[in-house]
Structure 1
Amino acid sequence: MNRRTFLFQSTALAAGAMIFPTACARNSNSKSTDMMAPGLQVYTIREALAEDFQGSMQRIADLGYVNIELFAYGDGQYFGNSIPEVKTMMSDMGLQVKSSHVATGWTSPDAVGTMTNNWEQTVQDAAELGQDYIVLAYLTEEERQSMDDYKKVAELLNSCGETAKNAGLQMAYHNHAFEFETMDDQVPYDLLLSECDEDLVKFELDLYWTRRAGVDPIAYFEKHSGRFPLWHVKDMAAGEDQFFAAVGEGVIDWENMFSHAETAGLDYYFVEQDATRSGEPFKEIEKSIGYLENIL
């Protein structure tokens, strides 16, 4: 993957130790018992990955992370590494790829490896890596101009979810804050929950963006129990700018949040920090894993 492609996909996609009995029972035939081990969405260290993919992944493993969510898939590669190469690296380091982020492809039709361009191969590659989930990461502004657009997104998720299911994977949708902004007297996120098939499409709730939208995630867990098997564990700093923070250094009550994991249907969580004030993302994710290991 060249730098131009990486930067484009990065922009487009940017945008615990306990095991719960019901989650274990639900996934005993398809998922290993490390489903609640520390996870990381590697977008957090995107610049380091572009410089040294293998070395950066080793640093993640050395910090104690186990489960990985990838991004920037393109034409059978991650950052210039083939799927067999990535698979070997992960195995050697004791890392497990549980999920990956993808785009619709509607605004980047030439990009190979999206939900509308070579989706079958994208799913096959995800299955080869041993993933359980594949996630629509972000909707560009052009893709979300109306509620009809969101209905088209739901249709695409259902269709792609069927392909994923046939390969043994689960399709999911990852939110930002804009999905909770009322449009035509409706909440787009609620429409997605309504229009998406409960079996074919699950939801990865980004707890930072949900909080930033002024929404209570626990209320969603209780209303739509079992539909949130993936979380982005991302903290919010105190202050008007609501900047990103290392987990445990912000305003989100994580102990309370994780106490509702069973209701949510949580399988895996992934630490993520979109940006850092320090400019040292590895130090930030080290603080995050340290905090989570203390409370879980």
Structure 2
Amino acid sequence: MAASAKMATGIQLYTLRDQMAKDPSNTIEKVASIGYKEVESAGYNGQYYGFSAKEFKKMLNENGLKTPSGHYLTGNHAPDQQGTLINGWEQAVDDAAEVGQEYMVLAYLFDNERETLDDYKTLIALINKSAEACKSRGVQFCYHNHAFEFETIEGAVPYDLLLQETDPDLVKMELDLYWTAKANVDPVELFKESPGRYPLWHVKDMDQAGEFAAVGTGTIDFQRIFDHKEDSGLKHFFVEQDQIKGDAYETISTSYKNVNKLLS
């Protein structure tokens, strides 16, 4: 595991979405003070948390942070929103490149975007087109999973379609380890089936009740998964916790300490 110790520990800012909405500068300072070196943005509408790409990058730089990756949406749920795959994507790609993001990740599909296999086929066409725009600016497109992609629809597993019907060079995967476990899918098997396809991970733990937990306090065997990081092609990983009971900063500090014990 010595090589893993060289990897920067990141956090997905969705974990701190309420704090980022109220006071992004203070939140970023606290994230850096805990020891995180990278952040993955969550939410872009032509700006990052009310900042231009240049301003956001400056704030991160001042705190010794980088943002190698960011989350984006298709825009189908809100066609007027800027900076989605269907509205202002070129500007989003330009901003991502300016802020220093190497990866742009499709974060989530709303219910009405994933009801049928045809919905997924339409999505795949949009993904392929969007990924080409990313490639033109030297940015890698990725897809982030939840559990629903592994549920069979009309005799097929949508996640298999996403892997098979997108160009593996154009479209990589960000594997959410919590949602993968929730779907009873083994990440290590995914890595073996599609080596090098998973450069990004969400390191997110699950408690005995199947709910979100601070990393290292739950049931997921992260050591086994990290032992196969080379199969996956891992480049960056981000601690994430969708819901936190108690103090958010104490919780992400626990996650940070436990991840770094894992990597030592």
Task: Please say if 1:167 is aligned against 2:152.
Answer: no
Relative to structure 1, the CA distance from residue 151 to residue 109 in structure 2 (aligned partners, 3 Å threshold; closer, same or farther) is same
CA distance in 1, matches of 2:77, 2:65: 32
User: Which of these residues, 37, 44, 54, is aligned with residue 73 of structure 1?
Assistant: 44
What's the counterpart of residue 223 of structure 1?
193
Q: Match for residue 38 of structure 1?
A: 9
Q: Report the counterpart of residue 109 of structure 1 in structure 2.
A: 79
Q: Residue by residue, what CA displacement relative to the aligned partner does 1:119-172 show, whole Å, maximum 9, x if unpaired?
A: 000000000011110000000000001111111111111111111011010000
**How many Å separate the matches in 2 of 1:295 and 1:110?**
43
Return the offset for 1:277.
Answer: 2.1
* Distance in 1 of aligned mates of 2:221 and 2:55: 39
In the other structure, the counterpart of 2:236 is: 268
Q: In the alignment, is the contact (CA less than 8 A) between 1:226 and 1:264 conserved in 2?
A: yes
Given residue 152 of structure 1, which amino acid in structure 2 is its aligned partner? T
Opposite residue 239 of structure 2, the aligned amino acid is V
Q: TM-score, normalised by structure 1?
A: 0.87
For residue 71 of structure 1, report the CA deviation from its aligned partner: 1.1
1:60 aligns with 2:31: yes
Identical counterparts, % of pairs: 48
**In the alignment, which of 156, 163, 172 is matched to residue 202 of structure 1?**
172
**Matches of 2:243 and 2:95, distance apart in 1:** 29
Displacement after TM superposition at 1:19 (Å): 4.5
Structure 2 residue 111 is the aligned partner of structure 1 residue 144 = no
Q: Residues of 1 paired with 2:50 and 2:142: CA distance?
A: 25
Secondary structure in 2 aligned to 1:18?
helix
The answer to whether 1:132 aligns with 2:102 is yes
Aligned length: 263
SS of the equivalent of 2:3 reads coil
Question: Residues 234 and 273 of structure 1 are in contact (CA less than 8 Å); yes or no, is this contact kept in structure 2?
Answer: yes
Asked if 2 retains the 8 angstrom alpha-carbon contact of 1:17 and 1:293, the reply is no
RMSD of aligned residue pairs (Cα, Å):
1.3
1:181 aligns with 2:151: yes
CA distance in 1, matches of 2:223, 2:77: 39
Moved more, 109-118 or 148-157: 148-157
Mapped to 2, the partners of 1:131 and 1:255 lie a distance apart of 27
Unpaired segments of 5 or more residues in structure 2? none
Q: Find the counterpart in structure 2 of residue 251 from structure 1.
A: 219
Contact 1:248-1:291 at 8 Å conserved across structures? yes
Kept in 2: contact 1:17–1:38 (CA 8 A): no
> Take 1:211 and 1:18, find their aligned partners in 2: how far apart are those partners?
25
How far has the Cα of 1:249 moved from its partner? 0.3
Deviations 1:206-232 (A, max 9, x none): 000010011111111100111000000
Partner of 1:108, secondary structure, is coil
Q: CA deviation at 1:295?
A: 1.5
SS in 1 for 2:219: coil
